[in-house]
Amino acid sequence: MRGTDESTVAYSQFINQIEAGNVASAKIGSDRIVYILKSEETQEQSKQPKEYTTIPVPGDSDLSGLLREHKVEFSALPPSNSGWIGTLLSWIVPPLIFVGLWGWLMARSQGGAAALTVGKSRARIYAEGNTGATFDDVAGVDEAKAELQEIVDFLQHAAKYTRLGAKIPKGVLLVGPPGTGKTLLAKAIATEAGVPFFSISGSEFIELFVGIGASRVRDLFEQAKRQAPCIVFIDELDALGKSRANAGGIIGGNDEREQTLNQLLAEMDGFDTNAGVILIAATNRPEVLDPALLRPGRFDRQIVVDRPDKIGREAILRVHAKNVKLSEDVALEKLAARTPGFAGADLANLVNEAALMAARKNRNSVTVEDFNEAIERILTGLEKKSRVLNEIEKKTVAYHEVGHAIVGALMPGAGVVEKISIVPRGVAALGYTLQLPEEDRFLTIEDEVRGRIVTLLGGRSAEELIFGKVSTGASDDIQKATDLAERSVTLYGMSHKLGPIAFEKIQQQFLEGLTNPRRAVSPKISEEIDLEVKEIIEGAHHIALNILQKNRDLLEETAKILLEKEILEGEELKEYLKRVQKTPEMESWLLKGQLNSNLLEPTSYNGKEKS
């Protein structure tokens, strides 16, 4: 009863009170027993009797009999009024906890945004002419700029095209190696056209939960239609548009990437050609894109943004050097000639590195010396004078690098040997031989491929010739030589035995450093490929040994000078390399790739006749 004084006692004490005949009445519940003693019941009527509470022992079936025996009035406790509330909360609270946890996770994944915005587009919107880039900032890709100028003209003068019935491409795909300026081109288009620019990465569409990416695609195109004419730019399209043919998993299952791609395809078909929404995308992996994405009516036009040629590199250097104070001895056209294969990002990094070095040396302007050091740092890594070599290591590295230089001076297509150094650089390079091409090359001839293999083996051959044993320093050279020899047989079809058959699949068009898988071939063909590769390597090894044997005096003289100075370059190095002599069988092997059986062994090894 409410308002009564209540005290909790032990169950055993309650039993003792019953047996002593002191209990007047009891109310029994499932989880407690409330009772009143006779002494409390006989008190004054104005005072409420004191109630005692005890917790029953489960399974005690003798209690009711004991109460009857001692003539105790007993009844059941009424059910608690809060019971239905507990039942209701047990059904409601767990789902609320789950919803709250899901909302918290979504808010974190959105960088603090509300969970309700999870399906909204994350595209960054630039106002008219506010992307910070123009066509003047883009150099070295004149063909791509000319193609994209038409997009700009359409956005500015749409009536000029529509009155003739012309349709502007719905989608433009920029493809090319990393760092060639694809994103910069897209921003320049928006600035030149003076229209809104939506920028987003392909990976920003994909989330853990299926359907979110598709929702973001829908929201992106809805925003674009409201602000037409405009440009929608999707960077790294391969993260979103990979081919569905090799997706794996359950066919027809719910896959977030596939649903997002399907929604993108539907949106590109859903808006009118001349609605003023132009989709521009960039990728360096066009070979992995879904064919449905590349068909006419979606990405109608593909523009290759490749590495620049010499003229393009000079134009890029001028763009990045316009705010840099250059010394009078700096000739950008010469720098462009020394940097074949550099992309726009590489050249921007080159100018910045040279400026940093000049500032570090407290110069008033950036000199040629700073640019030369910057080129070496980019190609070979940071100089590490703290890595001290012992005498044996230093001597081995010196002969190794001079061997590369002497052999490289004779090989076709290898470039000019600019510098030899035994100062450690980068992660593992204990020395290096710097060779720079004299001109841009887009094809490599058969004898040039073999010449590169011979040059790679020149360092190891010098160690064999001088010390009679080899070191671990040639491991990278051997790896590159083997890879090149294998590609010449399996990919370039340069084997006279196997013929013009491709045994490898080209998978990466613009990304370097990834191996191509060999096609499924018979064990016999595989053995012939291995034998052919071995024969090329052995022939190159023989040629390198014989060149160095013929020029042994020059090898030892140059190595001693290098050990004293640590670096050889410029006219001094050229004077040594002018004295390099050819061997009779060298040119024959470079052209045919075959040696006479009696020429397979060098005549001398470590200064002694070979047994």
User: Which residues are known catalytic residues?
Assistant: 401
Say how many CA atoms lie within 13 Å of 96 toward its Cβ: 6
Q: Do the Cβ atoms of 26 and 67 come closer than 8 Å? A: yes
Q: Long-range contact list for 128-133, CB < 8 A, 24+ apart?
A: 128/194, 128/195, 128/196, 129/190, 129/191, 129/194, 130/191, 130/197, 131/187, 131/188, 131/190, 131/191, 131/197, 132/187, 132/191, 133/184, 133/187, 133/188, 133/191
Residue whose entry in the numeric block shows the structure tokens 């890879």: 483
Question: Across the strands, what pairs with 7?
Answer: 52
Burial class (CB in 10 A: 0-12, 13-18, 19+), 382: exposed
DSSP SS3 for 61: coil
**How far is 215 from 266, CA to CA, in rounded Å?**
12
Compute the Cα dihedral for 302, 307, 313, 318 and give only its sign.
positive
DSSP 287-345: GGB-HHHHSTTTEEEEEE-----HHHHHHHHHHHTTTS-B-TT--HHHHHHT-TT--HH
For residues 463 and 546, give the distance between their C-alpha atoms in angstroms, rounded to a whole number: 13
Which residues lie closer than 8 Å to 95 by C-beta, 6 or more apart? none
Is residue 150 exposed (0-12), middle (13-18) or buried (19+ Cβ within 10 Å)? middle
Residue 70 near residue 35 (C-beta atoms within 8 A): no
> Tell me, what DSSP letter sits at residue 471?
-
Distance CA 518, CA 504 (A): 4
Distance between CA 265 and CA 337 in Å, rounded? 44
Distance between CA atoms of residues 447 and 536, nearest Å:
12
